[in-house]
């Protein structure tokens, strides 16, 4: 964290707008993301969180605005000016995308080991033994027993599938991970385990993360900064503690006061 001050941002987002016909998906979104920083995007359903995430991760071209990413060579590139080959390479090496539904991010027809190994082969690894060793290592890091490596993810529980999806994303040592409601749809004890694991991995690997969630407790636990969205606009942004402890906008005050206390 201390060297965070000297770094250049990893991602620069300027004036991103996405319109669906006349309807606003998201509008005039501006922010920068630094290495090692976890940014939570919160807001209710339909607030534009997922539209923004899809624009940022090159899955949905914005109507206007610019997104620049600092490549490993230190040069900022406009994401929507990359060639298709460059974009694909970026997505399978330097980036990860954790979907809410693990089935969207995994290949259910192949084994757990192959799901992890596939990303390694995509970056040029060919030695079967090494790929298998790395895959085993990653399964253990996400707390999946090594003897499940040849099992099909269809035989895994929801929580295990989600952890497998995370291992698949992290195996190439990405610098930026996008997460779309990663704990949604899991029961609470499984959520707690996943959150603790994510928190640890993010800190150990120094990952930058953009996480979309409607769960403010998840944002509190994982994120450094929060962006609050409503009707496609960013209405409040700041340090996570500050936005949650001293919310300024009426809508943010409503969100924070609606949390159930346990």
Partner 1 sequence: MTKRLSLKSVGKSFQMHLQGGLTLPVVTNVELEVFSGECVVLGGPSGAGKSSILKMIYGNYRCDEGQILIATGENGETVLDIAKAEPRRMLSLRSNTIGYVSQFLRVIPRVSAEDVVAEPLIAQGADEKTAVNKARDLLTRLNVPNRLWTLPPATFSGGEQQRVNIARGFITNYPMLLLDEPTASLDAANRAVVVELVEEKKASGVAMLGILHDLDVRERIADRIVDVTNFKQAA
Binding residues (CB under 8 A) for partner 1: these are 1-2, 4-5, 34, 37, 192-193, 195-196, 199, 221, 224-225, 238-239, 241-242, 245-246, 248-250, 253-254, 257
- Do 186 and 159 touch, CB atoms closer than 8 A? yes
How far apart are the C-alpha atoms of 116 and 149, rounded to whole Å?
A: 10
Pick the closer one to partner 1 by CB: 98 or 226: 226
Element (H, E) at 130: helix 128-141
Least CB distance from residue 114 to partner 1, whole Å? 29
CA distance linking residue 65 with residue 27, whole number of Å: 9
Closer residue to partner 1 (CB): 55 or 195: 195
Minimum Å distance from CB 258 to partner 1? 10
Neighbouring residues of 138: CB distance < 8 A, sequence distance ≥ 6: 116, 167, 170, 171
- Closer Cβ to partner 1, 1 or 260, answer by number: 1
Q: What is the DSSP pairing of strand 64-70 with strand 11-20? A: antiparallel
Task: State the minimum distance, in angstroms, from the CB of residue 222 to partner 1.
Answer: 11
- Cα gap 209→120, rounded to integer Å: 21
User: Of the candidates 67, 88, 65, 52, which has an alpha carbon nearest to the alpha carbon of residue 10?
Assistant: 67
| Secondary structure (3-state) at 74 | coil
CB of 128 to partner 1, least distance (A): 34
User: Least CB distance from residue 210 to partner 1, whole Å?
Assistant: 15
Nearer of residues 15 and 249 to partner 1, judged by Cβ: 249
Give the residue with the Cβ less far from partner 1, 7 or 137. Answer: 7
């Amino acid at each position: 964290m201390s060297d965070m001050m000297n770094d250049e941002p990893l991602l620069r987002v300027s004036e991103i707008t996405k319109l669906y016909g006349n309807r606003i998906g998201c509008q005039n979104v501006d922010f920068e993301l630094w290495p090692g920083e976890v940014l939570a995007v919160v807001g209710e359903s339909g607030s534009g969180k997922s539209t923004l995430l899809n624009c940022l991760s090159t899955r949905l071209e914005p109507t206007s605005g610019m997104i620049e990413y600092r490549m490993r060579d230190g040069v900022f590139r406009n994401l929507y000016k990359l060639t298709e080959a460059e974009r694909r390479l970026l997505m399978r090496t330097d980036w990860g995308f954790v979907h809410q539904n693990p089935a969207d991010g995994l290949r259910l027809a192949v084994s757990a080991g192959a799901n992890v190994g596939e990303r390694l082969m995509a970056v040029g690894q060919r030695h079967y033994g090494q790929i298998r060793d790395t895959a085993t290592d990653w399964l253990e890091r996400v707390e999946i027993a090594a003897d499940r490596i040849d099992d099909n993810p269809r035989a895994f529980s929801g929580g295990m599938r989600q952890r497998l999806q995370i291992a698949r994303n992290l195996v190439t040592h990405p610098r930026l991970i996008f997460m779309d409601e990663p704990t949604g749809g899991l029961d609470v004890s499984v959520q707690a385990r996943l959150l603790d694991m994510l928190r640890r991995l993010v800190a150990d690997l120094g990952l930058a993360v953009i996480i979309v969630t409607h769960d403010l407790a998840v944002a509190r636990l994982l994120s450094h900064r929060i962006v609050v969205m409503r009707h496609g606009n960013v209405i409040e942004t700041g340090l996570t503690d500050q936005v949650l402890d001293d919310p300024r906008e009426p809508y943010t005050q409503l969100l924070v006061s609606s949390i159930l206390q346990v």
